[in-house]
Amino acid sequence: MKCNYMLSSRFVAAALLALLTCTPLRATMLIVVYTPDGYWIGADSARQAGGRRTETVCKVHETKFGLLLKAGNSQGTTTEGDVYSTDKEVEDLLAVSATAEEFKASLRLKFKQEIEAELIYILNDSTITPGMLGNSSMDSPIPDFLIPILTRSIFLFEPDTARWLGVALVVLPKSDPDPDPWTHTTRYRNWATSFLWWHPIVQAPSHSFNRETKTAISFPNSVKMLTYPVSYNKPDSWIQDHPKEALLEMLKLGHAEEPELIGPPFVIMHVSRENDHKQKTRWIQRGVCPSWDETVQPESFLREFRNP
C-alpha cells in the first residue's frame, strides 16, 4: 500500500487513518470493535523484522496505565548499527514512568529519537549527528518505501478516564522541502515527527484506499482497523451481536492477504464498564499473551538500505 502523508487540519481523522494503515511492512493487524458496553480488541501474533516473520509474540499488554497495543518491528537500530528490542524499550519506559502523561510524553520523544537514529544509520554520513538532523538540508527526501518501515505506532486504552476508548500515537519520518529561490533547486530537511500527538481512535473514519490496486477499503462504523485494513461488509447490527466472530473473520482476511506477516494465534479481548463504572477486562482468546518479547536478530535489517 503506497501511503500519502500530506496532512490537512480539516481532515485530522482521515489523516490519522492514513498514518495508522501504514504500519511497518503491513505486518501487524490490530482491530477495535466498539460496542454499547465498551469495546473488543482483536490482534494477530506474528512478529516480523525486515519483512520476515521471526516469532510469535503478544501485541496486547495489560499495564499500570491501561491496555497497550504495540505495532511494528520487533527491533530497532542505533546510529552505530547496534540492534535492540523495541518491546523492551517500551517495557522499561513503563517501569520508570510515574504517570500516564509522563509515559506518553516520554514515549513520543523516544520514538522520535529512535527514528532519527535509524535515519542517521541509513545515511551513513559521519558529518550528520542527531542534533543536526532536521536542521541540515540534504539533497534527497526520505524514500517513500522507508517511511512505513521506520514508523512507530502504539495505542493506549486508559481506564477510568475520558480516554478509556483509546488514543493512538504515530511517529514517522518526514521530509520538508527547502527550496532555494536563487538556484531554483530544492533540498530537504529530514526528521521524525508526530503530527497528531495522542489522538482519539474513535475519530478515525471507517474507510481507506489502496493506491496500488486503486480500490476502496471500507468497514462498518463500529470497527476501527488500527494498522492493516481490510474490507468487511457485515452490518453493525450483526457485529454488535457477534463481536468475537467478526474480529476472527477480519483477522483471517488479513492473514489470507499476508500469510507470512499476519498470522495466528489470534488474540481476542473484551473490555466493558460495569454498573459501578469500573472497567472489566476479559481475555477471550489469549494466544501467547500476556508477555513481552526481548529477543532480536543478530544484525540490523536496515543494513540493506544503508548508503555505502
Averaged pLDDT, 144-153 = 85
pLDDT-based confidence at 18, cuts 50/70/90? low
pLDDT of residue 54 exceeding 60, the answer is: yes
Q: Which residues contact 308 (CB under 8 A, 6 or more apart)?
A: 124
Q: pLDDT digits over 260-278, tens only?
A: 888 999 999 999 987 766 7
What does the alpha-carbon distance between residue 76 and residue 11 come to, in Å, rounded to a whole number? 31
Q: pLDDT digits over 188-241, tens only?
A: 888 888 877 888 888 877 766 666 667 788 899 999 988 888 999 999 999 999
Averaged pLDDT, 281-295 = 89
Total-model pTM: 0.87
